[in-house]
Structure 1
Amino acid sequence: MLKAASAFVVPRLAFTRVLKGRGSAFAPLLSVIVAALVPLAASGAKTPERVISTDAAITEIVIALGALDRLVGVDDTSEIPVEQSSLPRLGYHRALSAEGLLSLDPDQLLVSEHAGPTRALAPLEAASVPLLRLPSAHDVAGLKSNVRSIAAALAIPKEGESLLGQIDTRAALINTYAPRIAPRAVLLRESNGELRVAGQGSAGNALLVLLGAENVVDYRGYRTFTAEGLLALNPEVLLIADETLPSGAQWLSRYPLLRYSQAAEAQAVISVDSRALVGGLSLTALSEAERILKLMSGTQKVVGP
């Protein structure tokens, strides 16, 4: 928009010089002329056609907006349809390469707040490649804000409004299934043989809030727990993230001590698709929330998919 706006500075100055000293009667005419020039100049702004996304949640928004064909590169966490499996991968979003990014000749870069290192992004900014840095969403409002920003950057406002409507519909559905009394819950994931429990400010906590649950821990980020430590927390609902979605029984056979938890007694040991925890609260997280809450409200028993 800055380039487009500069296109009408010269004519505006020219008209100002011509009319200078001829009285305020010409002021309304000048306003009309300048107002007419603004949309003409703005229409010359180039619509991004070579887009790079370095975040899984951002990539799925781009796809949901119908702009998959504009992507020329994505990070390793992004999920791409099979027909686009040959799309160049740019590595981990915290360890990007300036050479890799520039080699794709992008005209729009979409990154999360965690993208880096700074030295990898600086050359693109120096080359005047538009860069949109988005915060991780921790609630539906944050997710919708990111949708608006991406739709605006890609110049597809109608598609953006349509997706926002879909999100509102899905959020309303999730709310109808959410428990009226928030159960005490824990969300954890296995990492190198350790059990990592999600705290405040994490994608795991965002999913718990979306589910209408209360996170029993109050620290920020993730911390490692033993099975004994988890049992001491004694949650009413236990969510365990894993891409393969094992059944509750499989988890309890792996960690038999957890059979004595309230969650196990209530058959509320739940597998969560770990892809729903990448990049904050995402469209995938909405799908997972719907699946989990339908299971819980339908049978009060959570089993494998």
Structure 2
Amino acid sequence: MFQKNSFKVLAVLFAFFLCLSESVVAGKTLRIVSANGTLSEIIAGLGLEKQLVGVDVTSTYPESLSKIPKIGHNRTIAAEGIIALNPDVIIYTDQSMLSPSLLKQLNSSGKKVVEFKHEYSREGAIKLIREVGAYFNAKSQAEKMVKSLEADLNKIAKPAAPKKLLFIYARGTGTLMVSGTGTSLDKMFALTGNKNAVQGFSDFKPLTAESLLAANPDVLVLFSSGLESLEGTDGLLKVPGIANTNAGRNRKIVTMDGQFLTGFGPRLGRAAIELAQKIK
């Protein structure tokens, strides 16, 4: 009888500690700081939003993230602000552009700092969701997101005649950059079956009237906030060279939320569908 009861006690204790371990790993007791909007969106999708104690300013979806303390934006983030939130784990991606000095301070703080690789592709988005889900022991929730994402991606209708798209990053007329190859915008354009109007360089370069005329895009794509900083379409058309492009002459200007357009996370398919519809 004693041996039988002992086994019962051991079984109960094992179940208890297993549940305790899972709750900690799953994030139910973890304090998480996310320095990347896509990671924050995935964390929320995994059902762990309540464990987020700090997020960067690109963490805009879901809207409820606006209530969480902000730690800043990539290179303006201070280690002291993050550490003050007393996180158990700090997560970011290799695309987050955090400064080396910040990462050094965070790693020296004794806090757990985890980097996730994020490739700008449909495969990269799926892989990121699964890796975050695996890290926080939420694989089943991650697979639900992947299934939804794949369903959206399969709805993207490729155009019969691809258009030349040019993304302009704007923060007023003083800051105007165009997106070259290898960027998230370049990959998004390809995902919709269209092409980047510029091919001669990677990353971002300052916008010039000469480069605009050479690229001669059919459609101009901007973040909604970027077009607002130029005082709308009329302001954009006053930028030297814009009015002389096919896009300018036809006033073919598309705007989308920045994080939605470039996040390459759970909403990638929906973003590609919206972009494809807007540029028709």
> Aligning the two structures, in what range does the TM-score lie when normalised by the shorter sequence?
0.7 to 0.9
> Residue 113 of structure 2 aligns with which residue?
131
2:242 alignment counterpart: 258
The amino acid that maps onto 1:210 is L
Question: 1:244–1:273: 8 Å Cα contact kept in structure 2?
Answer: no
Give the counterpart of 1:237 among 204, 219, 224: 219
Q: Do structure 1's residue 293 and structure 2's residue 273 form an aligned pair?
A: no
More relative contact order, 1 or 2 (CA 8 Å, 6+ apart): 2
Distance 1:257 1:93 in 2: 32
The gaps in structure 2 that reach 5 residues or longer are: 1-13
The SS at the match of 1:243 is helix
TM score, norm. by length of structure 2 = 0.77
SS at match of 1:294: helix
Quick check: 51-60 or 82-91, which moved more? 82-91
2:171 and 2:226 in contact (8 A); partners too: no
Aligned residue for 2:257? 273
Structure 1 residues 129, 270: CA separation in 2 closer, same or farther (over 3 Å shift)? same
Partner of 2:6: none
Aligned-partner residue type, residue 291 of structure 1: E
Alignment of 1:210-229 (within 5 A): 210-218=191-199, 219-229=201-211
Structure 1: which 5+ runs fail to align?
Answer: 1-36, 301-305
Identical pairs, percent:
23
C-alpha distance in 2 between matches for 1:210 and 1:182: 11
Question: Is the 1:201–1:220 contact (alpha carbons within 8 Å) kept by the matching residues of 2?
Answer: yes
**Hey, what does 1:6 align to over in structure 2?**
none
What's the offset of the Cα at 1:42? 11
Aligned CA distance change for structure 1 residues 44 and 60 (closer, same or farther; 3 Å): closer
Matching residue of 1:183: 163
What CA distance in whole angstroms lies between the structure 2 residues aligned with 1:263 and 1:188? 12
2:240, 2:80 → 1: CA distance? 49
The answer to whether the aligner puts 1:58 opposite 2:39 as a matched pair is yes
Larger radius of gyration: 1
Name the TM-score, length of structure 1 as normaliser.
0.71
Match of 2:72 in 1: 91
Task: Determine the C-alpha separation between the residues in 1 that align with 2:105 and 2:237.
Answer: 51
* 1:243–1:275 CA contact under 8 A, matched in 2: no
Report the equivalent of 1:70: 51
The question of 1:112 aligning with 2:96 is answered: no
Match of 2:141 in 1: 159
How far off is 1:119 after superposition? 4.2
Q: How far did residue 52 of structure 1 move?
A: 0.9
